Structure 1
């Protein structure tokens, strides 16, 4: 082999090695496999009412609550007819007390009252005749009346041995147990939400109270993301001097997922016009302007420029941007790189606005 041929062979070998190395680099520079995809929280572009709303948090409370117990003391609880979560009607039996001892007392008192009445009857018409003193006559009549009153008192007790619901509604607490002795504690036996009506008591900033009025529509968002339409029933006439907050009560429909003691967030005054909007946490701010990061069908992140409009309730109007239904990354993950492979994790409506 000549010197020139050897050099040519060496150059060809070196070129092949460089090309192989480049091929290996291309393989490693490819997109990350699905197993290495970054998990991100994803919402959607939605068409929804938006505009200058006031937001306030609060607690779900019973509009009217009835507390049930026994007026009697010393009687054993024989039966319980209702439990937490039950809907009861006004007058429906809740607890039956054991009336065995009381019935015996009534029978005994009935006999005593009958005897006293008979003795009073025997002196009828003897007034002023001198057979008996007037004092003796009046004493027999008084004794008859007193014994009859005692009998009536026992019968009244008997009528209250069955404890009934004073109002119709949902039982939210039961504090009575079988075998318990009435009058032995301070815990209510039952708490009933009248007609099952639960409403939201929201704390509203002092400066926002003047913009609220009775009958004004409001939307209440529950922790699970469910939204419930309601209306303002009461605007408090006073403001807490320490917190500068006023109470607003929102009337809500009867629903199983409205539980007294739960949390809710109210939005007041949003306009009825539907616009294309995204959660505020989906908006990305950088030197090139505003944008959102969408997720395509292949789960690739794509940065899309947007123009925004009004804001309200944790949402931003998109004057220009992706169409409704488009998936968008929300929260800190919105800074995912353009073209990155991601693993979408859907979030609830409430989380979209809170992230």
Structure 2
């Protein structure tokens, strides 16, 4: 009897607890679905955000070398950074050793000219006298030989004088091309040897950015594509892709790309710069807010025809204007949750804000 009395309160407590659990389950089932805004995966024009760095180098570099040796540099007329024109005098060598030689050759040439003229006249006087008995055949032959000999000596001296005058002209070191002087490696008083490079000039002052890109990125480029180049000063200049390398480096796997830049005083040979390629491309994209990031990586919440949530892993690309490129993920046309998607779980039924995707 006592045990039956104790069992009644326990039974009542169990029934009460069961009733409470049923109410909680009912309340959970009665909760409305999460409301989310949606967007479709679709093709969009997005400006590329590929970046590459490199060195600023002359598009075409010309060396100015010395043709003659043994002469001291008398003066240097330009400095690094100067703009020069083709044929402009850059430096002068001391001609004091060469001028006396030229004067002596000119005097010798004058003497030989007189001698050659006299020999020519004497040879002309005996023309047709071979069988007249006036002069022996030997005398006539000597006069003709003397005329030819003096003419030969005259020609040799004239050639020596021409060579000396050419050397004199080359004592004025001239720019081989017009452009920007990149380097001056000569000083007054130096005695450089033949073949020594005295100056380096960037033809037309053209400086380019030599950048290197992965092979896959270079494959998507075309000649003329725009690029914004940031200089060390922070200044940004706009250039265009002029040349894409024909080979891939065997060690780095990179392709060289040359970006033509407008003339600017801040472009310095050997300087460092960074390029951002801004060519627009059509890519699959979704709003940035649609992409969720967690320990498993990036994903989106795809909404199926029954309005159920399915988590799909994605691989993202470039970002622009509030959108992100999907390089891997759901196909074009798929609906993804944007606002409110973070509060949903796999398999949840959701309510779509506005009733349809944007």
Task: Give the TM-score band, short-chain normalised.
Answer: 0.5 to 0.7
Equivalent residue for 1:326? none
**Aligned equivalents of 2:66 and 2:206: distance in 1?**
25
Q: How does 1:211-250 map to 2 (within 5 A)?
A: 211-250=220-259
Equivalent residue for 1:37? none
Q: State yes or no: 1:191 paired with 2:200.
A: yes
Equivalent residue for 1:266? 275
Unaligned runs of 5+ in 2: 1-44, 131-138, 282-292, 299-315, 324-358
Provide TM-score, normalisation by structure 2. Answer: 0.60
**Aligned equivalents of 1:56 and 1:135: distance in 2?**
78
8 Å CA contact retained: 2:65, 2:195: no
Any idea what the Cα deviations from partners look like across 1:236-293, whole Å, max 9, x if unmatched? Answer: 1111122211111100011111111111222224449xxxxxxxxxxxx889xx9xxx
Q: What is the CA distance between 1:56 and its match in structure 2? A: 1.7
Q: State yes or no: 1:71 paired with 2:67.
A: yes
8 Å CA contact retained: 2:68, 2:194: no
Equivalent residue for 1:16? none
- Please, which of 75, 83, 86 is the counterpart of residue 87 of structure 1? 83
Say which SS state the counterpart of residue 200 (structure 1) adopts.
strand
**Aligned equivalents of 2:55 and 2:192: distance in 1?**
33
Unaligned runs of 5+ in 1: 1-48, 273-284, 291-309, 320-355
Equivalent residue for 2:187? 177
**Aligned equivalents of 1:176 and 1:233: distance in 2?**
34
- Aligned-residue Cα RMSD (Å) equals 3.1
**Aligned equivalents of 1:211 and 1:155: distance in 2?**
58
Q: State yes or no: 1:155 paired with 2:165.
A: yes
8 Å CA contact retained: 1:51, 1:311: no
Any idea what the Cα deviations from partners look like across 1:122-164, whole Å, max 9, x if unmatched? Answer: 1215166643424433222111100011111111111112111
Q: How does 1:90-101 map to 2 (within 5 A)?
A: 90-101=86-97
Provide TM-score, normalisation by structure 1. Answer: 0.61
Larger radius of gyration: 2
Q: How does 1:84-163 map to 2 (within 5 A)?
A: 84-125=80-121, 126=123, 130-133=139-142, 134-163=144-173
Higher mean displacement: 236-245 or 145-154: 236-245
**Aligned equivalents of 1:237 and 1:316: distance in 2?**
31
8 Å CA contact retained: 1:53, 1:269: yes
Equivalent residue for 1:337? none
